Amino acid sequence: MSQLRYEMMPLESGVFAELYLPKKAHYQGLLYETLTNGFDVENVRKHLRGKRKQIQAYLGGAAQYWEIAGKNSPSPDQFLNETFIKKFPDLLYGYTMYEVDGVFRSPHTGQVVEERTQIIRLMFISDLDQVFAALPFIDDSNRNAATLLARTYLRSTHWDRDHFLADHKLFPSASVFDDKQAAAIIYMTADWARSIAVFLFGYVVHDICEGLRKLNQNDVIAPEEEIWVTLFWNLTINRIRSVP
């Protein structure tokens, strides 16, 4: 009889996001449906396609996620087209929910409010091997350097690709690549990061806010003043995987 073993898998990079909103019974069905539907990329594409005009306008308030090419970056109404939607990747690996006691000050009234807060954590794991598969110059000898360069870009304080590349020689991981190769790595990484932002704000947050708006219209709940979204770009994961 063979014994089940557990092995540690190589380190993986990723991103996790958290959504903060009041814990209310009326929200649970909406949250579950939106999040579980997000595991099927066809559902996400259908949402982006069916509500594209609304989402384009909605995404306009988060310019920092779209300005990946500096001043010449395409805006959401330019890049969120049918070609982009058809190629939209499968991103969501999992989510968790937990609750905390929150105390907030209303931005409108200044009143201090105590409420039970629900936090939704979503995890996005960067399959850089798949991202780099289209780059013929990446092999086993420089794969780690390419991964480190991509991670450095994701953790930088801005996503302007050209600005980052102007200084890329300062990073030891970039020394093995010429300018064109470094640019190719950063451009593909930036596209992946932008897709995460579209998924998070254009699908998850947009769909939840639309659901809350409908509940408010039907006088089921009072409108929420704010919903918070946080993003952490320094996620690292080691999977401990069972091996027969």
Report the alpha-carbon distance of residue 190 to residue 149 in Å, rounded.
12
Place of tokens 């058809």: 86
Give the predicted TM-score (pTM) of the model: 0.84
For 198-226, the pLDDT digits (tens) are: 999 999 999 998 888 888 877 667 777 88
Check pLDDT > 90 for residue 142.
Answer: no
Q: How much is the average pLDDT of 73-86?
A: 80
Specify the pLDDT at position 171: 64
Residue 109 — pLDDT band, cuts 50, 70, 90?
Answer: confident
State how far the Cα of 168 lies from the Cα of 175, in Å rounded to an integer: 8
Q: Check residues 62 and 213 and name the one with the higher pLDDT.
A: 213
Q: Is residue 43 very low, low, confident or very high in pLDDT (cuts 50, 70, 90)?
A: very high
* pLDDT score of 71: 60
Neighbours of 117 (CB within 10 A): 17
pLDDT of residue 237: 84
pLDDT at residue 69 greater than cutoff 60: no
With b meaning 16 or more CB within 10 Å and e meaning fewer, what string describes 193-227? bbbbbbbbbbbbbbbbebbbeebeeeeeeeeeeee
